Amino acid sequence: MALIVHKYGGTSMGSTERIRNVAKRVAKWARAGHQMVVVPSAMSGETNRLLGLARELAPGSTTSALQREFDMLASTGEQVSVGLLAIALQAEGLGAVSYAGWQVPIRTNNAYTKARIESIDDQKVRADLAAGKVVIITGFQGVDGDGHVTTLGRGGSDTSAVAVAAALKAAECLIYTDVDGVYTTDPRVVPEARRLHTVSFEEMLEMASMGSKVLQIRSVEFAGKYKVPLRVLSSFTPWDIPIEDEARSGTLITFEEDEQMEQAVVSGIAFNRDEAKISILGVPDKPGIAYTILGAVAEANIEVDVIIQNISKDGRTDFSFTVHRNDYARTVDLLKTQVLPSLGTDRIEGDTRICKVSIVGIGMRSHVGIAAKMFRALSEEGINIQMISTSEIKTSVVLDEKYMELAVRALHRAFDLDQPAA
Ligand code: ADP
Ligand code: ASP
Ligand code: MG
């Protein structure tokens, strides 16, 4: 019998009826002799509701003091969930105890709203497990060195679950969600998307970082760092299906490349609307320009993603890059006040209506012409590519956001992702 971590997302915890189902499923595993730790998210819609209230009272403001309070507020959603789940488990006749992040404690740094887990104390949890209890720990939240509540960024309960599994050296971390695994792309956008039986850790990392929200990227990073066996599966199967069947369902994240059952060149397509593009026109084409622009942006702790610089004409060139949409206004402001005057231009353009679409696959390493095939599929749909960025196992393009779904569907078809794997 093993120590197992289950994580249940917001939809899976969305009503008392669903929470009762979660409790019955967990009870089934516990009664089979497993030591169970459960990490639930807030009930669906709750985190958005809470943050909406905050924004009503303080629109647009992002001071650190305020972000502390955002975390205090947003973390309550998960506290409700753990309490309800412990009550439901006790009603099922099981010993169960719930903890908030600070009680475990799950220690993080103090980067409010996007804190990183630094350590997890396993003592209390191990004592409860030894006493035969199911332990329920809030997702999404932790506590910093000074005792302030922090949250881990949207979708952060995945990361809490994997980090708890790593700290406890759990045999497996099962991520229960509202789809029955990781698909070739979001099945809500492409109904023909196929479920992958396995996906390599590297591919999952790229898919998550390029926008597939089925797993938060940091959870995948943790799984890789601590080699946590990780599976994504549905919470909507009947709770009483045999454990052996449940344990084999969904998608397994694999760490060995030769375990790859589905060696497609492209395994999946990810997309997001999280970024905005900024172009500075007519900058002098001379050494140090990229540094002058991007150095100032980095200094302000703003992450830059795709970058392009055009060829120069008459000693001047255009320089474009993307940042997270939330950082867009701040970046433009910073460039206008601190950077443009020294570049001898005041021409800056921004576009928040872009999207990024990426094809991902470890098979791309050993195949040529994949990017060309991507560009052809987009051109056949009349979609203009604004920016391109590549790595060994992915190619991303920046497009007008109105083409996002069309592009994803066209690429899904072009790379035969709707066909059963060979
Ligand atoms: P949870 O609340 O369980 O954490 P999320 O909404 O965060 O669930 O993540 C699950 C959702 O991720 C699915 O409902 C699906 O729409 C979306 N998704 C995006 N890309 C993929 C993909 N490649 N495979 C499966 N689901 C995906
Ligand atoms: N409740 C948090 C959110 O909505 C964390 C999570 O669901 O993973 O982002
Ligand atoms: Mg999620």
Q: Exposure pattern of 219-229 as b/e (b: 16+ CB <10 Å)?
A: bbbbbbeeebb
Listed residues 254, 276, 301: the one ending a domain:
254
Confidence (pLDDT) at 301:
87
228 vs 254: CA distance, rounded Å: 10
pLDDT at 181: 97
- Cβ(361) to ligand 2 under 6 A? no
Average pLDDT for 271-289: 93
Which range of residues forms the domain containing residue 388?
Answer: 268-414
pLDDT score for 366 = 85
Residues 69 and 216 grouped into a single domain: yes
pLDDT at 1: 84
Ligand nearest to the CA of 11: 1
Residues 342 and 239 in one domain: no
CATH of the domain at 305: 3.30.2130.10
Residues 73 and 18 occupy one common structural domain: yes
* Mean pLDDT, rounded, of the chain: 94
Instruction: Give, as one character, the DSSP assignment of residue 366.
Output: G
Residue 420 counted as domain residue: no
- The enclosing domain of 59 has a CATH number of 3.40.1160.10
In the reported structure, the alpha carbon of residue 331 is separated from the centroid of ligand 3 by a whole-number distance in angstroms of: 28
245 with 274, same domain? Answer: no
Q: What is the number of the ligand 1 atom nearest to the C-alpha of 189?
A: 16
Q: Which ligand is nearest to the CA of 213?
A: 1
Query: For 168-212, what is each residue's pLDDT tens digit?
Result: 999 999 999 999 999 999 999 999 999 999 999 999 999 999 999
Closest ligand 1 atom to residue 268 Cα is 23
- CB 47 less than 6 A from any atom of ligand 2: yes
Residues 91 and 62 in one domain: yes
Comparing CA positions, the residue from 248, 30, 235 lying closest to residue 129 is 30
117 in a domain, yes or no?
Answer: yes
259 pLDDT above the threshold of 70: no
237 Cβ contact partners less than 8 Å away, ≥ 6 residues apart: 180, 246, 249
Output the pLDDT for position 314.
Answer: 86
pLDDT tier at 350 (50, 70, 90 boundaries)? very high
Q: pLDDT (tens digit, 9 = 90+) per residue, 79-103?
A: 999 999 999 999 999 999 999 999 9
> If you average pLDDT over residues 349-368, what whole number do you get?
94
Domain count, the chain: 2
What digits encode the pLDDT tens for the residues 299-326? Answer: 998 999 999 988 888 889 999 999 999 8
Q: Is 156 in the pocket of ligand 2 (CB under 6 A)?
A: yes
Assess whether 236 and 321 both reside in one domain. Answer: no
CA separation for the pair 135, 131 (Å, rounded)? 10
* Together in a domain, 198 and 284: no
Q: Over the stretch 394-409, which tens digit does the pLDDT of each residue have?
A: 999 999 999 999 999 9
Across the range 54-61, mean pLDDT stands at 86
Tens digit of each residue's pLDDT (9 = 90 or more) over 5-23: 999 999 999 999 999 999 9
On the question of pLDDT at 63 being above 90, the answer is: no
Say if residue 64 is in the same domain as residue 172. yes
Same-domain pairing of 221 and 277: no
pLDDT at 258: 59
Q: Is residue 261 part of a domain?
A: no
- Between 60 and 355, residue with greater pLDDT: 355
Alpha-carbon span 208 to 65, nearest angstrom: 30
Q: What confidence score (pLDDT) does residue 60 get?
A: 72
Which pLDDT value is given to residue 71? 97
Please indicate whether residue 342 or residue 43 has the higher confidence score (pLDDT).
43
Whether 419 maps to a domain, the answer reads no
Atom of ligand 2 lying closest to residue 152 CA: 5
Query: Which residue has a Cα nearest atom 6 of ligand 2?
Result: 155
Could you give the 3-state DSSP secondary structure of residue 118? strand
**Which residue, 254, 281, 311, sits at the end of a domain?**
254
Q: Is the model's pTM score more than 0.75? A: yes
Residue pair 299/339 in contact by the 8 Å Cβ criterion:
no
Question: Is the confidence at residue 257, as pLDDT, over 80?
Answer: no
Distance 156 CA to ligand 2 centre (A): 6
Same structural domain for residues 405 and 300?
A: yes
Query: Confidence class of residue 59 from pLDDT cuts 50, 70 and 90?
Result: confident
